[in-house]
Amino acid sequence: MNRHTDWYIELYPSLIAIDVTDHIMNHLAQRITIGNAIIICEYPARLQAPHSKLWKKTIRICERVFASTLNARLRKELSDKIAILEHTKFVVWPVSQQTVESADRLTVWLVPPDTAIGTFPPDCVTLYITVPVTGTQMAEYMRALPPKSTLVVYRGGRTVTMAQLPSDPNNSQ
């Protein structure tokens, strides 16, 4: 993981589309307890079903581990994690302002790349970018998130590199 000012940035340059979705679900299972997440993807409505399916698979894996262990501490941790994962919902953007305001901490927003940055939902601490972006767009995303947030960028060799990022996203044009 690379540290860039007050944000954490993870770059994955060579994952294929199926691996990206699988990686997002595994990564997200660890991050959703911290706050909401945003997945910037090309066709959010089309990706809602595959993401939800992989999310249910992640829950089943946790349930199998839970059923196979006798360790009381691990069973408690897994029980709590399963409850959190089961209450997580995937919402396709755009939505009404009322939906944004009523969302809880267990929401994953599937957002198209042309969405206005200032309209991101509150309490989002993880941003997954699966489409090519420029350094300027990356700076806008960074400004829209609170400090100590994590940006996970799946590049496929076609998008931003660390050298293209501004040294201070809060002061860039």
Higher pLDDT residue, 63 or 8? 63
Report which DSSP code applies to 28. Answer: H
Calculate ∠ Cα 128-151-78, nearest 5°.
70
Distance CA 104, CA 106 (A): 5
Distance from the Cα of residue 134 to its chain's centroid: 19
Question: What is the arithmetic mean of pLDDT over 64-75?
Answer: 94
Sign of CA dihedral 57, 20, 128, 130: negative
Q: What is the mean pLDDT of the chain?
A: 77
Question: What is the arithmetic mean of pLDDT over 153-159?
Answer: 60
- Tens digit of pLDDT for each residue in 72-123? 999 999 999 899 888 888 888 766 555 555 556 578 888 888 776 666 766 7
Higher pLDDT residue, 78 or 140? 78
- Tens digit of pLDDT for each residue in 44-58? 888 888 888 888 998
- Continuous segment of H or E residues that includes residue 161: none
Distance CA 148, CA 125 (A): 8
Distance CA 146, CA 7 (A): 8
Say what the pTM is: 0.78
